[in-house]
């Protein structure tokens, strides 16, 4: 797994993708930090986190994950990877953790903003860390979804579009639940799958076990499905 991880993480910086992803995160979050906190004098970083959430889900993460598996298929190097002396789980986890590390480096700028605020006032650290952990867990789940979609196509554009649509669908779950409020079953499913309500708990500094388990288990599920898809392709 470590060899795949090192290769994937290095690839982000031997191609423009890593720099583009970091530039998008730093640029937008820096803009909102300046507007909400520096220019307006607010000490609460929750506005910055909430403002970049949709942007990260709909644009940054699809770009980050679009080449994870599809690029190997396009370059016809996937068979060499699948026959290498490393397990399929190791391949999937290596690529997954490389993307998660880059994403973590990107959103870590929020902690830098918090320390800047701390030079003037005492920020609400529990809320800041709650926002950070919630964003990391949500981002990891989207990366796992993007990895699965990237495994299904050799087109990076199709992989990015698929991840965008999946992220958009997750954001719209609450709205769908409201439209189908007359159906108890639909409402129950929407409440269970609602990432917005679960993420909002983190933004209030409430790190509940069921929310953490939900994001971790969903991430593990999509990683498991990716391994199964690769296993089927290897034997075919």
- What is the predicted pLDDT for the residue at 170? 86
How far is 19 from 74, CA to CA, in rounded Å? Answer: 22
- What is the predicted pLDDT for the residue at 78? 63
Domain range annotation of the chain = 2-235
Helix intervals (H) in the chain: 2-14, 16-33, 46-55, 61-65, 70-74, 78-82, 88-107, 109-118, 125-151, 156-171, 173-179, 184-193, 195-203, 209-235
CA atoms within 13 A on the CB side of 17: 24
- What is the predicted pLDDT for the residue at 164? 93
211 neighbors 141 (Cβ within 8 angstroms): no
DSSP letter (8 states) at residue 3: H
- What is the predicted pLDDT for the residue at 83? 65
Q: At what angle do helices 16-33 and 88-107 cross, to 10 degrees?
A: 40
CA atoms within 13 A on the CB side of 119: 7
How far is 53 from 66, CA to CA, in rounded Å? Answer: 19
Q: What is the mean pLDDT of each run of 10 residues along the chain (236 residues)?
A: 86 89 92 87 83 87 88 67 74 93 94 90 86 92 94 88 91 74 72 80 80 93 92 71
- What is the predicted pLDDT for the residue at 80? 63
Q: Select from 151, 137, 158, 133 the least CA-distant residue to 91.
A: 151
How far is 170 from 197, CA to CA, in rounded Å? Answer: 11
- What is the predicted pLDDT for the residue at 155? 86
Centroid of chain to Cα 178: 26
CA atoms within 13 A on the CB side of 108: 8
**C-alpha separations of 98 from 13, 48, 223 in Å:** 12, 25, 14
Predicted TM-score (pTM) of the model is 0.91
- What is the predicted pLDDT for the residue at 41? 77
């Amino acid at each position: 797994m470590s060899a795949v991880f090192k290769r994937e993480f290095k690839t982000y910086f031997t191609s423009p993708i890593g720099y583009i992803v970091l530039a998008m995160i730093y640029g937008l979050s820096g803009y909102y930090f300046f507007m909400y906190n520096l220019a307006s004098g607010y000490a609460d970083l929750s506005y910055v986190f909430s403002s970049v959430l949709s942007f990260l889900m709909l644009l940054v993460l699809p770009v980050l994950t679009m080449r994870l598996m599809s690029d190997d298929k396009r370059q016809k190097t996937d068979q060499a990877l699948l026959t290498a002396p490393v397990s399929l789980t190791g391949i999937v986890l290596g690529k997954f953790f490389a993307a998660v590390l880059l994403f973590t480096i990107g959103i870590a700028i929020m902690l830098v903003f918090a320390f800047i605020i701390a030079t003037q006032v005492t920020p609400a650290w529990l809320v800041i860390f709650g926002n950070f952990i919630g964003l990391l867990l949500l981002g990891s789940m989207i990366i796992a979804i993007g990895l699965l979609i990237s495994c299904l196509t050799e087109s990076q554009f199709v992989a990015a579009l698929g991840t965008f649509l999946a992220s958009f669908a997750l954001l719209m779950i609450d709205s769908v639940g409201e439209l189908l409020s007359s159906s108890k079953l639909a409402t129950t499913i929407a409440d269970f799958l609602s990432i917005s309500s679960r993420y909002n708990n983190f933004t209030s500094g409430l790190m509940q076990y069921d929310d953490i388990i939900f994001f971790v288990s969903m991430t593990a599920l999509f990683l498991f499905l990716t391994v199964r898809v690769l296993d089927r392709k290897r034997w075919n």
